[in-house]
Amino acid sequence: MAIPQNYTDLVIKVSARSSRSAGQDQIDMRFNSSSSGYSYRQLIGDGTTVVSANASGSFVYSGVAPASTGTSNTFGNFDIYIPNYATDKYKSVSADYVNEGNATTVYYQGFTAGLWSNSSPINSITFYSDNGASFVQYSTVTLYGIKAEV
The secondary structure of the chain in percent helix, strand, coil, rounded to multiples of 5, reads: 0, 50, 50
Band of the pLDDT at 89, cuts 50, 70, 90?
very high
pLDDT mean over 87-114: 85
pLDDT tens column, 33-77: 999 999 999 998 887 889 999 999 999 988 889 998 888 888 999
Give the mean pLDDT of the chain: 91
Do 55 and 40 form a contact (C-beta atoms < 8 A)?
Answer: yes
- Give pLDDT, residue 106: 55
